[in-house]
Amino acid sequence: MGAALGIGVDVGASLAKLALREGGTLRHELLPADAIERVAERVVSLAPRTLGLTGAGAGELARRVTGESVRVTEFAAWGAGVRRLLAAQRPDVSEPYLLVSLGTGTSVLLAQGMGVSRVGGTALGGGTVMGLGGLLLGGASFEEIIALAAKGDRRCVDLLVSDIYRPGEIALLGDATAANFGKPGVHERTPEAGDLSHAIMGLVGENVALICAGLAAAHGVRRIVYGGSTLRGNAALRDVLALITAAFGREGVFLAEGEFAGALGALELAGGL
């Protein structure tokens, strides 16, 4: 492999996301964030001419790599990366919009006037899926939880609005959750692993979408752009987010490869694109 002309690295709490530009080609890599030495070795082996770093672990990575690097604030990196992804995937989406970074936790940013600012967030995110799923499912991995959720049905675990009200009796979606893990008798039996996994996605997805819908209303924004590593291959979570977002009159936009937005933005703001 020839030398990478530019690399952007977003070091989060769980994953390190790399955006690599070699000539006219842009590609991505994922590495565990807790293996920071492995991440550093990978970066050094590529001998980048331009290196942009962002995320919680950017400082530690900067101390382990040789040569110059450019530190980019996380929100600025996400804003720049998402603009580039939207330009390729959804050029019709213009500012203002909410940008939701679903990583270990969740941050909500307002993109407006070529700038981004954090307007909210929640501790619910991929860390919740991994932690709660691991506790309930005998140490299942994140990938296993996603696969189980795709085959499960949270209606077997959650108490839904439709379990309490007949259609038309209340102005709420019947599929909305009245109580997470609150289905009568659920604790008297052993729920299927898939149903528990799907319920975890419901817990995270509904609450994230509710928070985002409220923030969108407060800021007069119609579109909510979702990205982040928690959505990678996670159709169950995406479906919940889309349902609740639409129920509150907002358009959910889901980025392909949105987990690399921060790395892509770090690369761009460091001058590597």
Mean pLDDT by 10 residues, the chain (273 residues): 78 94 91 92 94 96 93 96 96 96 97 92 97 96 97 96 91 88 90 97 97 98 97 97 96 97 97 85
The two counts, helices (H) then strands (E), for the chain are 8, 12
Task: Supply the pLDDT for residue 8.
Answer: 97
Listed residue (21, 24, 214) closest to 100, CA to CA: 214
pLDDT at 2: 53
The four Cα atoms 81, 82, 88, 91 give a dihedral, to 10 degrees, of -140
Per-residue model confidence (pLDDT) at position 1: 47
Are the C-beta atoms of residues 65 and 43 closer than 8 Å to each other? yes
Cis peptide bond N-terminal to 96, omega within 30 = yes
Q: What is the pLDDT of residue 4?
A: 58
User: Parallel, antiparallel, or unpaired: how do β-strands 223-227 and 251-254 relate?
Assistant: parallel
Per the listing, tokens 């982040």 go with 228
Amino acid 173: pLDDT? 81
pLDDT of residue 3: 53
